[in-house]
Structures are given as C-alpha cells and as structure tokens.
Structure 1
Amino acid sequence: MTLRAMMLHGIVVIDAYLVSALGEAALAAMGLASAIAGLLLGAQAAFANAGQILVAQAFGSGRALAQQTVFRTNLLISAGVCLLGLTIVSLVAGPVLRASGQSEAIQGAAQTYLTIFALVVIAEALGQSLSAHFTGCGRTRIPFYSYLLTLPVNVAVSYALIHGIGPLPALGLAGAAWGSAVAALLRAGYLAAFALGDLRRWPRGAGYEGGSLRRALTRNLAFSSPVAATFFSAQASASVCMLIYARYDLYQFAALTLILPWIHVAGTFGMSWAQATGVTVAQLLGQGIRGERLSAFLRVAFRGAMIAACLVATAYGVIVLSAGWIYGDLQPQTRAALLSFLPVLLLLPWPKNSNAICGNSLRAGGETVYVMALFLWSQWLFKVPLTALVVLVLQWPAGWALAILLGEELVKFAPFHLRLKRGRWRDPDRAGAG
C-alpha cells in the first residue's frame, strides 16, 4: 500500500520535475491546474477509501454475496461521482482560474492541462474503485503492480510530449497531462483484467444483499458518505489553500507547488500504515474480534506509526536540503523559500501519523460522523481562514502558511486520542452506523 501510494503521488512529483525545466511560470500553471484536478481525484479517492472499509468488512465476514454487493455499488458510486465532478468543473474552472490573480498565459496553460486531465479522471473512476476492492480483500500487490507497470509509461510519454522527442510535438505542460492520461487508462485496464476472476467466482443471479440494488446503494452511501466527506473535505480545503497560495509572488508559489507533492509522497508511508491499520481493524471487527487482542494490535500500530514518522521527517529533510541539486534550474528566491519550510516539515509527521491511526481505526468501528466532524471544523474553521489571514491580509512569507498544516494536526490531536480511548467504537453494535 505504501509503495502504491508513493507511486501515485510520485506521478505529480515527476510531472513537476519534468515541467520545472520550462520555468517557474509553467510550474505556477501546473499548481493552479492541480488545485482543481485534485478536487476531482480527491472526490473519487474519498469514496474509494470508504468503499475499501466496506470491502474489508464483507471480506472478513466471508459472505460472497456481501462482497459482490459492495463491489457493484462501489463501481456505481464511483461512476456517478466522476460524472458529477466533470460537470461541475466544466462550469466553474474558468471563473476560478481568473480569480487566481495569475497572468492570462498561466491561466490558459492551466485550462489546457485540465481539459486533457479529464481522461485521467474517467480512468480513475474505475481504477480507484478496483484498487479499493483489492486492498480491502488484502490483495494489495495488484494495485501496487498496476502503478509499477504504468509509472514508467507516464514518465516516458510525458517527457517525450513535453520536450518533443523524435516525431512527437513539443506540447509543454500539456504533454505532462497526456502522459498521465495514457498511464491512467492503462492502469484501469490492468486492474479490470484481474477483477474478472472475482466476477466469475461470485454467484450469478443472486441479486444484492439486503434485497435490491436501491437498498444496497442506500446502505453503502449511508456508511460511505461521512467517510467520503472527510477525505473530500481534506482535498477541497487543500485546493482552496492552493488557490490562496497563488496570491504569493511567482517564486514562493512555485516553491509551494514543488514541496506539497513531496509532502504527500514522503508522508505516504505513515498514511498507508494508518489505512492498513483501518483495514485490519475492519476485518477483525467483521470476524467478531474485540477486547485485548484488538488493543494489542493497536499498540503495535501506534509504535509503527512513530517509526514511520521518524523516517518521513528524515525524508523531508533530505528533500529540502537537496532541492538545489534536484531542481538545478530554480531561481535563488525559490530555493530560499523551500529552505524556510524545513522546521515545519521535521515536526509535521509525528502528530499527523498518530492522528491518522486514530481516524482510520474510528472509521472502521463506525465512528464515521465523529471523524468527519473533526476534520470539517479543523479544516474550514481553522486551516482555511488562517491561511487566508496569513497570505492575503498579513502577507507573511510562505513558511508561515505551511506551518498552518502543523497547527491543524495539533488542534485535532486531543479530540482524536480521547475518542479512541473511550472504547465505545470497538463494538459496532453499540457504536451505531456512524
């Protein structure tokens, strides 16, 4: 799961690396486009993460009909989210880009990138849902291999189309979008080929657990909507903050565009550990396991999260201190902004990883609404308003804006850990549906 997530976020890092040769203006255009495109992929990933928990519970119960029902409803929900997301973005992308304050050339490049990136969103509607299915069943190697197969394709196609290799045209930033689209379509086909084996094993004509498709979809949405809202809120707030960051000068905005994907890539070890913890907790609860065995597993999970935090903090330090070597074409102002991020990055993984263990465990036990509420207020009543204050009103340097990410984790720390210790979530029959 960790390696898969690193390669997923690594696609953005690689695209940024390839595009950095085109200059800070191209990086700024990519940052704008990714803020909007991230909302689309974030919505799909949100429902996929919720569906992953349902798959794990059905898999733990051993009921084939339950697994088949979750599989089908997850696919339908993912397709619906894709269609709705593309419709909304087609209506609001233009006004949002114009409100960013960047030049018309940067806005135009971002719009072109988004138009091509729609193919990625369509492919991921299938790919994310299938990845959730395999992960929930414990078959994490299949999604991992899908990225292992397609990442080189993405790099090769993107590089060739960005710079114009051989007979191919030099498309600049648009070339990076085409490379991502080709890789996403290939990955979806790879996952679909493996899913056919499960479809053949499941009972045909057995209908849906609960009686009908409508009832099955209602039950899926009742559980998944709070979980999806949590993940989507995180992506939406990040995109809003990215649009606020666009008010910085070109160099500080370029620095944020470079470092934020690295935060996701290096941080995936801790986040994947937490997601794996949630999947395992869901499977244990599906098997009826409670009490000391569950508590013992969680103690091991927290120790692993702290080890992961140490590794992630080290990785952040290496990335920032090596930025001048990684991105040789950057201006001195951009490198100085990157260096100012270091203190925050060394502290961020510790509370973030611990909170992630709490959040994923609570979701697995049915506390989906509590986790959603905690994320919503910490993002929309703390992170976004404070970011707007620091960037738009106080006009403090970008290092202060990044420090708000650490502050968000600190305000969630006590509510998360106190809720986990109360123990009510450990019994879904008492905790309720959400």
Structure 2
Amino acid sequence: MFLSMASNAYIKRNISLGWPLALNALLMQSMLMIDTLLVSPLGEVSLAAMGIATTIVSFILGIQMALANGTQLVMSRAVGSASKQKLANAYWSGMLINLLVAIVFWVLLSYFDQDLIHWLTDNKTLYVEVGAYLDFAKYLVLFTAFTQVITAMFNALGHSKIPFKSYLIELPINAFASYFLIHGVGDWSGLGVVGAAIGSVIAISLRMIFLSVCLKYQQDLDLTFSSKTALFVNNMKLHFIEIFPVAANVTMLSIGATIYQLLYSQLSINAYAAITVLMPWIRGGTQFITSWAHASAITISQAIGSAKLDNLTEDVDISINMAVILSVLSCGLFLGLSFVIDDIYPGLDPETYLALTLIAPLYILLPLIRGYNTVHGHILRALGKTTAVFKINFTGQWLISIPLCALLILYFDASIFWAFAVMPFEEAVKAFPFRYLARKTLAEFDHTQAQKLI
C-alpha cells in the first residue's frame, strides 16, 4: 500500500525535525561522558565525586528539560495558530516558569548542598570535592533555564538544526576548556574536579549567547511582551498546569530508574556489573525513537494550533508505525551489540559475560515495546492528556513494576534474568492503556477540544 503525498510530506517533515533532536540528545549525554573521561586520571576519589555531583546536576537538568518540552508543545500550537501574541505569551510564560524553578534549585544547591551530599554518601573523603564541584556547577542550572526554553522555541518553529549547531559549538569548547582547567598547563597543575564544572559553565554560557543571538535575528518572529498583566498571569497559570505533569512524569521516572539501580545492586556483583555496562547503551540506543516521538508531538501540536484536524488520526497512525519501524531497527542494533559486547568490554569476569548473555533477549526486545509506548506518550501530551500519561506511568512503574522487582530480588532471590525482565514487563503493562487512551482521545477530539488547548 503506497503512502499518500500528504503522508510522505508528514514523514519527511518529522524526519527533518527529528534527526537534529536525536543528535542533540546524544551530544548532551556525551558531554558528561567526556567530563568523566577527563577526570578519570585523577583517581577513584575524584571520579566518585564527579559521579555523585553530576548525578545531582543531571537530575535537575532533566526536570528543566521536561518543563521546556511541555512549553515546546504549547509554543507549537501557537506556531500553528499563526498568532504572534500567543507565541510570545507561551515563550515568556515558559521562560519565567523555568527560570523560577532554576532559582529554587540554585538556592537549594547554595545553602543545602552539604545536607544533600551527606545523604547521598557517607564517604567523608568525597565531601569537599563534591561540594567544590557544585559551587560552580549550580550556575549550569541558571544558564540551562534560558537555553532549554530557547531550544524549545526553535524546535516549535521547526528549526531544530539551530540548537544542534549550538551543541556542536558547546561540545568542543567544553572538552578543551575542561581539559586545561582539570589538568592545568605548564607549571600550573589545574583545578581538578572543579575544572570540569567551570569548563561546563563556560561552554553553556557561550551556547546561551549563540542561541540568544539566533533568536534575536530570527525572521518573522516577534517576542515583544505586549499582554496585559492580569491576562499574562492567567496564561502563565494555565501554562504551568499543562506542563507540570510533564516535569512530574520525568521526575517520577528518573527516581524510579534510580530505585531500579539500587535494587539491581542487591544482585551479585557480576550481575550488577552487566546491567551497569548495558544501561548507557539502552539510553543512547533509543534516542532516535524518542526524537521521532518529539517531532511527532511538535507537528501534531502545530496542526491542532492551526485547527487542521482532517488528517489528525492518519498522522498519529503514521507516527506510531514509524516508531515501530525505528524500534525494530533499534532491536537489530542491540542484536548486533550482543555479538560484540565481549570485544567492547574485554577483561570482565566470565560470570559477567554469562549474565550479559542471559539477559540478551530482554534488552534486544526492550526498544520495541518501549518505543511503542514512547510515541503514544508524546502524542497524548500533544493532545492535552499530560495528566493521564503521568497516571499510566505512575501505575505501571510505582504500583506494579518496582514492588514486583523488589519482591523478586529481596524475597525470592531471583536471577538476573527475572530481575531485568521487570523492565520490559513494565512497558508491556503500560502498552494497552496508552493504546486505548490514544484511540479514545482521537475519537473524541474535535475543533472544540482543539480550541480549549489553544
């Protein structure tokens, strides 16, 4: 069956929008990997301090990104409506909300950082280095508030290549600045772990300047604030009500992933090592699926904003089908990984390689069902069902899967296969509710529902 011209145009538009989003996500992950690689020659204490500090910062940046993604959907609808005032209101509402959240986290890191560090580790040798890193890294939170919202604006406009270019600027600057600040040059011995934080702050500040200049000179874009105060406050309130479940959803899933890791740490050391080796691959290997889902949500939000709903169901079906195709390709990549992972990580214990072999069928098939759920979740958010998505994820992860994982590991002393199987099981539990809610929402969605969202 051949696709219609409209379908081909939809796919091409989403691919054009999606591939920079995927590379953006991979570049973001690579920055932390580069910093970790640069710090590793300093020894285990510095490396452990870096790991704890970046865990805290990454958690906060994840929440900021989630808020910006929610704002991105609101701005996409405004772009579709061709209303400059709605777009400006969405931009300033999102910017103010993200900046206020950043200030809250900055204050927490400034005045309660030691309490947080003591809660995360009882190793006193790490306290000083983690605290010193956070003294500078907390400014990343402020700069990210600006960069994430500006990035969301460009994505909503369909110009996702501009944020991609900004990462291409930030990444090498971060690498070179961090290297010299960590290890020094000439007679200067460098700053150690603190140098990594300062290098990251320098890089993201330059990225913020680049994005701000690009936004200022973006053609046909007027972000002049002209709304009355009372109207803007009400608009900001509605904006927050819509995007808060997105941030809550990401926070909940992040904490859930951490609890999974803590539970898996109760397995044998070889089993835990196998899972630790796999997790970065699982996160990175599904980025193109996630980015396709993001692109689909942006395009559908634009269609809703423009009140062009005739092809809405068809576009959703295309998004889901393409996500399944990308998921199958991702499964193929993980299948290939299973054959070469011994060569990528030589020198591990035979028991670790055995553990990797045992869970190979699970991590190979995981992207298929996770990709299916991911695209449904993003589409439902575009249709205004952010709270419903949160409820499905909360039920599947916190009420079913995490208790099951704890029961299997702590009570039944289950093997790594059954413990790891909980992750694809969680996705399977959520698949039918996502599918049912998406079909129900599409069947009921009309111009009245679209107008309420706008």
TM-score bucket (shorter structure): 0.7 to 0.9
Aligned to 1:220: 239
Cα contact 2:89–2:225 (8 A) shared by 1: no
Aligned to 1:271: 290
- For structure 1, which segment, 177-186 or 268-277, has the greater mean C-alpha deviation from structure 2 after superposition? 177-186
Residue 271 of structure 1, CA deviation:
0.3
The letter of the residue matching 1:55 is M
CA RMSD of aligned residues (A): 3.5
Query: Structure 2 matches for 1:3-42, cutoff 5 A?
Result: 3-19=23-39, 28-42=48-62
Matched, 1:104 2:124: yes
Aligned to 1:144: 164
Matched, 1:184 2:204: yes
- For structure 1, which segment, 122-131 or 34-43, has the greater mean C-alpha deviation from structure 2 after superposition? 34-43
Equivalent position SS for 1:348 = helix
- For structure 1, which segment, 277-286 or 217-226, has the greater mean C-alpha deviation from structure 2 after superposition? 217-226
d(CA) in 1 for partners of 2:398, 2:32: 25
Residue 177 of structure 1, CA deviation:
3.2
Deviations 1:64-108 (A, max 9, x none): 111111111111011011112233455665455444566433555
Aligned to 1:289: 308
Residue among 384, 391, 395 paired with 1:373: 391
The letter of the residue matching 1:133 is M
Residue 428 of structure 1, CA deviation:
6.4
- For structure 1, which segment, 314-323 or 154-163, has the greater mean C-alpha deviation from structure 2 after superposition? 314-323
Query: Structure 2 matches for 1:332-343, cutoff 5 A?
Result: 342-343=360-361
Residue 48 of structure 1, CA deviation:
0.3
Query: Structure 2 matches for 1:172-321, cutoff 5 A?
Result: 172-198=192-218, 201-202=221-222, 204=224, 206-207=226-227, 212-242=231-261, 259-291=278-310, 293-317=311-335
Call closer, same or farther: CA 1:35–1:138 in 2, change over 3 Å.
same
Residue 23 of structure 1, CA deviation:
6.2
TM-score after normalising by structure 2: 0.82
Residue 219 of structure 1, CA deviation:
1.8
Matched, 1:120 2:128: no
Call closer, same or farther: CA 1:14–1:383 in 2, change over 3 Å.
farther
Aligned to 1:413: 431
d(CA) in 2 for partners of 1:189, 1:294: 37
Cα contact 1:75–1:129 (8 A) shared by 2: yes
Call closer, same or farther: CA 1:425–1:56 in 2, change over 3 Å.
farther
Residue 140 of structure 1, CA deviation:
0.6
Residue among 74, 86, 97 paired with 1:66: 86
Structure 1: unaligned runs, 5 residues or longer? none
Call closer, same or farther: CA 1:202–1:348 in 2, change over 3 Å.
same
Residue 404 of structure 1, CA deviation:
3.3
Equivalent position SS for 2:308 = coil
Call closer, same or farther: CA 1:67–1:420 in 2, change over 3 Å.
same
Aligned to 1:357: 375
d(CA) in 2 for partners of 1:74, 1:349: 31
Cα contact 1:17–1:327 (8 A) shared by 2: no
Aligned to 2:100: 80
- For structure 1, which segment, 281-290 or 20-29, has the greater mean C-alpha deviation from structure 2 after superposition? 20-29
Query: Structure 2 matches for 1:313-332, cutoff 5 A?
Result: 313-317=331-335
Equivalent residue pairs, number:
432
Structure 2: unaligned runs, 5 residues or longer? 1-20
Cα contact 2:60–2:141 (8 A) shared by 1: yes
- For structure 1, which segment, 348-357 or 189-198, has the greater mean C-alpha deviation from structure 2 after superposition? 189-198
d(CA) in 2 for partners of 1:108, 1:391: 35
Deviations 1:93-129 (A, max 9, x none): 5455444566433555444443432122221111111
d(CA) in 2 for partners of 1:102, 1:394: 29
Pick the structure with greater CA Rg. 2
Residue 41 of structure 1, CA deviation:
0.8
- For structure 1, which segment, 16-25 or 330-339, has the greater mean C-alpha deviation from structure 2 after superposition? 330-339
Call closer, same or farther: CA 1:168–1:298 in 2, change over 3 Å.
farther
Cα contact 2:369–2:431 (8 A) shared by 1: yes
Aligned to 1:53: 73
Deviations 1:332-389 (A, max 9, x none): 8777766665433211111111111111111111112111111222232234444555
d(CA) in 2 for partners of 1:76, 1:294: 32
Call closer, same or farther: CA 1:203–1:127 in 2, change over 3 Å.
closer
d(CA) in 1 for partners of 2:336, 2:265: 26
Residue 200 of structure 1, CA deviation:
8.7
TM-score after normalising by structure 1: 0.85
Residue 27 of structure 1, CA deviation:
5.2
d(CA) in 2 for partners of 1:374, 1:433: 21
Cα contact 1:277–1:301 (8 A) shared by 2: yes
Residue 135 of structure 1, CA deviation:
0.5
Deviations 1:120-161 (A, max 9, x none): 222111111111111011111111111111112222233444
d(CA) in 2 for partners of 1:343, 1:162: 41
Call closer, same or farther: CA 1:98–1:249 in 2, change over 3 Å.
farther
